[in-house]
């Protein structure tokens, strides 16, 4: 039988790994076989501890242990890719808080179902967040103000009234000529 290799992850630097690390140590993972990181799980990109674990930290007959499936991956695609890597290396996966143990047929099935559910849940959460942001955007006290204007409309109007060409206005104000034309067309259609 191989070693128990633990993996813990939180999404932001302000979150604590303590609860996950304690659970992994309680499940029999030794401190020397523990990989932990504070990084988003939306993708496997930029997750150095996970990459190190998958490339060098596990060997045939080892078991990767994590507390919850979403600590390992947030998308079904990434989760299935990690599962394929583990399978190719002859490594099992055990999830402490969910009945997943890929050394059993039932554990493999449950693993696949939970992976799909985790991705669905992340998509629903993203949709709710977007809806909330969209609802707040129109309010005067909204923190979502959009990008600040890059052109000075009053200055464009002053120069235009003085007979300066749009090309010269754009060069003087260091903005695109199309922005000057667009601003002048907008003023003309509203005026």
For domain 4-134, give the fold: Rossmann fold (3.40.50)
* 101 confidence band (pLDDT: 50, 70, 90): confident
pLDDT of residue 139: 78
Give the start-to-end residue ranges of the domains of the chain: 4-134, 153-190
Mean pLDDT of all residues in 104-124:
77
Neighbour count for residue 125 (Cβ, 10 Å): 10
Reply yes or no on whether 11 is catalytic: yes
CATH architecture assignment, domain 153-190: Orthogonal Bundle (1.10)
For residue 29, give Cα distances in angstroms to 32, 58, 164, 167.
8, 13, 74, 68
Instruction: Render pLDDT for 140-182 as a digit per residue (tens, 0 to 9).
Output: 777 766 666 778 888 989 999 999 999 999 998 888 898 888 8
Q: Closest by alpha carbon to 24, among 53, 45, 56, 44?
A: 53
Topology alike, domains 4-134 and 153-190 = no
Q: Which residues pair with 64 in a beta bridge?
A: 5, 93
**Active-site annotation holder among 11, 123, 150, 165:** 11
Kindly give, in sequence order, each residue whose CB lies less than 8 Å from that of residue 181, ignoring residues fewer than 6 positions away.
Answer: 166
């Amino acid at each position: 039988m191989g070693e128990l290799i633990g993996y813990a992850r939180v999404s932001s630097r302000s979150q604590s790994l303590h609860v996950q690390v304690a659970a992994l140590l309680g499940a029999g993972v030794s401190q020397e076989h523990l990989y932990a990181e504070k990084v988003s799980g939306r993708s496997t990109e930029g997750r150095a501890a996970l990459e190190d674990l998958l490339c060098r930290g596990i060997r045939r007959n080892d078991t990767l242990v994590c507390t919850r499936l979403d600590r390992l991956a947030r998308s079904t695609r990434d989760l299935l890719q990690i599962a394929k890597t583990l399978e190719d290396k002859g490594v099992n996966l055990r999830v402490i808080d969910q009945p997943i143990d890929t050394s059993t047929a039932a554990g493999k099935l449950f693993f696949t179902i939970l992976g799909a559910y985790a991705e669905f849940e992340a998509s629903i959460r993203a949709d709710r967040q977007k809806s909330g942001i969209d609802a707040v955007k129109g309010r005067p006290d909204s923190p979502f103000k959009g990008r600040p204007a890059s052109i000075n409309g009053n200055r464009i109007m002053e120069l235009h009234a003085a007979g300066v060409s749009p090309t010269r206005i754009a060069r003087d104000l260091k903005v695109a000529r199309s922005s000057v034309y667009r601003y002048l067309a907008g003023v003309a259609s509203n005026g």
